[in-house]
Structure 1
Amino acid sequence: MRTEAAERVLCALDDIPDGGSKGFSGAPGAFMGLFAVRRGPRVWVYVNSCPHIGVPLDPVPDRFLDAKKQMILCSTHGARFRIEDGFCTSGPCYGESLEAVPARVDDQGRVLVPEDAGL
């Protein structure tokens, strides 16, 4: 018998600008949080930590994408990651990937992640 993993609401889909990104704080005192990228009804969620040295990716809140909004960008060393799978295509962590977080949008338009994601 399969049991569903516990989930929590990260945000409403409409809280993330279409074609944009949004960051979310971790647990109190935690250095890393999560961030989400939206393309229409699809959302990808990652841990906000560059695989190169573990720093947060965003230089200012909610700025995770390059100027063309086509790649995720690490502000510290310029590493670029594909939105669809977090794979690094250039920079000091080439070939590595961001830590993906399973996410889904429910029928109420809420983005759900595992209960312990980012904690």
Structure 2
Amino acid sequence: MQKYFLCRYDDLSEGQSKGFSLGDTAAGTDNIFTIMKDGEVYAYKNTCPHRGINLDWQEDQFLDPDGALIQCASHGALFKIESGECIAGPCTGDALTPVPVEYAQDGLYALLAD
């Protein structure tokens, strides 16, 4: 398991999303994003299950206009923040790939398989 430092916990804001690039891997750079909701941080790989493309079209923009759901900028698919489940769009029933996070004294870390 690889551990990647993301940011200090207080760099995240309630109801906001933030994207991260996690270094080079054999397949390229791992891109993930986080969302803080009700004080909990949720993290997912930045890959839409429909087309395998990034979800954001602008930096750190992963949420719908209401900030209630994750939204794919390419085709408008909507995902639950808490589970990553697609509830509307061409990938309904699929889900985003969750990324485990670890809280440490110095900040937040993503945990990715080797």
> TM-score, normalization: structure 1?
0.83
- Structure 2 CA distance, aligned partners of 1:93 and 1:47? 16
Aligned to 2:21: 25
Task: Structure 1: give runs of 5+ residues left out of the alignment.
Answer: none
- Is 1:15 the counterpart of 2:29? The answer is no
User: 1:36-67 CA distances to partner (integer Å, 9 max, x unpaired)?
Assistant: 00124310000000000011000100000001
CA contact (8 A) 1:51 1:98 kept: yes
SS at match of 2:10: helix
- Structure 2 CA distance, aligned partners of 1:68 and 1:42? 18
Q: How many residues align?
A: 112
- Structure 1 CA distance, aligned partners of 2:91 and 2:49? 6
Identity, in percent, stands at 38
- Structure 1 CA distance, aligned partners of 2:76 and 2:103? 30
Q: Tell me which stretches of 4 or more aligned residues in structure 1 moved more than 4 Å.
A: none
> Following superposition of structure 1 onto structure 2, how do residues 81-100 of structure 1 map, counting pairs within 5 Å?
81-100=79-98
The structure carrying a bigger strand percent of its residues is: 2
Aligned to 2:77: 79
Task: Structure 2: give runs of 5+ residues left out of the alignment.
Answer: none
Task: State which of 74, 99, 112 in structure 1 corresponds to 2:109.
Answer: 112
Aligned-residue Cα RMSD (Å) equals 2.1
